[in-house]
Structure 1
């Protein structure tokens, strides 16, 4: 039996102990510069980081994905530039023969390059569409300019300057 003078303590269930922790190991030294990075667990190796110096050429193959970079849409960009120059330059053509024929060159180039860009570079829709539309507007303005000059020369030759 138990002694009546000692207090009764209820039975406490035994709690499992925490497993012992191993002491920390020394950290691994960092890899040397340019050394390949070890693959992660269950993954593939990643390419080394780019070295310092000249920037990589964006038109060569991409070392991270293995795909080639997209070429810039040159026909479409040139179409847009030529079309805008044609719209700006067609009303400015003061001399009907020199400025007029030079001013007609840019809108026509904008239309031709725009249709080439539409065929070869369908993803650059904004560029080639701007080149086509502004090229046709420039051609229209240039034809109006030619008609205006024809009216001015025709009216100027019909006056009688005799007194």
Structure 2
């Protein structure tokens, strides 16, 4: 054993006529830790030429939602006009933009509630002008007969 070096580790080549053994191959032991995996977040899909894929329009649905919220907040003051437009755009958005359905439904719900506030505001506005004239007219009519 002294003075001999195993083949493949600095040893001289085997003499002619004898088979040479291949060098030893070492394999890495399996890692106890799991392999790194990609993030679970979806990546944007790109077309063949590197441009993002087409996104369906949602303009009517988003406009419906915005006008519905404005009508809900200020429906009594604006007499429900933004809510009425929001409801119309919401129904149009439901038919034309299936991808914008959540926005359209939000616009419809807030729009209808805003219309109700607008009707109440209109009733209060009319009553605030009519009732004083009825009271003053009744007082004036009653005092004229004496």
| Band the TM-score falls in, shorter-chain normalisation | 0.5 to 0.7
| 1:76 maps onto 2:61 in alignment | yes
| 1:115 maps onto 2:91 in alignment | yes
Tell whether the 8 Å contact from 1:90 to 1:138 is kept in structure 2 after alignment.
Answer: yes
Q: Report Cα offsets for 1:36-86 as digits up to 9, x if no partner.
A: xxxxxxxxxxxxxxxxxxxxxx9xx73457873213411100100011011
Aligned runs of 1:119-134 on 2, under 5 Å? 119-134=95-110
Aligned runs of 1:30-69 on 2, under 5 Å? 62-63=47-48, 68-69=53-54
* Cross-structure match for 2:13: none
Tell whether the 8 Å contact from 2:64 to 2:87 is kept in structure 1 after alignment.
Answer: yes
| Residue of 124, 127, 136 corresponding to 2:112 | 136
Q: What's the Cα RMSD here?
A: 3.0
The alignment of Structure 1 onto Structure 2 pairs a total of residues equal to 101
From the two aligned structures, give the one with the greater helix fraction.
2
- TM-score, normalised on structure 2? 0.57
Quick check: 66-75 or 106-115, which moved more?
66-75
Tell whether the 8 Å contact from 1:75 to 1:117 is kept in structure 2 after alignment.
Answer: yes
CA displacement at 1:89 relative to structure 2: 1.2
* Cross-structure match for 1:158: 134
Q: Which runs of 5+ in 2 are unaligned?
A: 1-19, 26-43
| 1:17 maps onto 2:21 in alignment | yes
Tell whether the 8 Å contact from 2:75 to 2:81 is kept in structure 1 after alignment.
Answer: no
- TM-score, normalised on structure 1? 0.52
Matched position secondary structure for 2:99: coil
Distance 2:115 2:127 in 1: 18
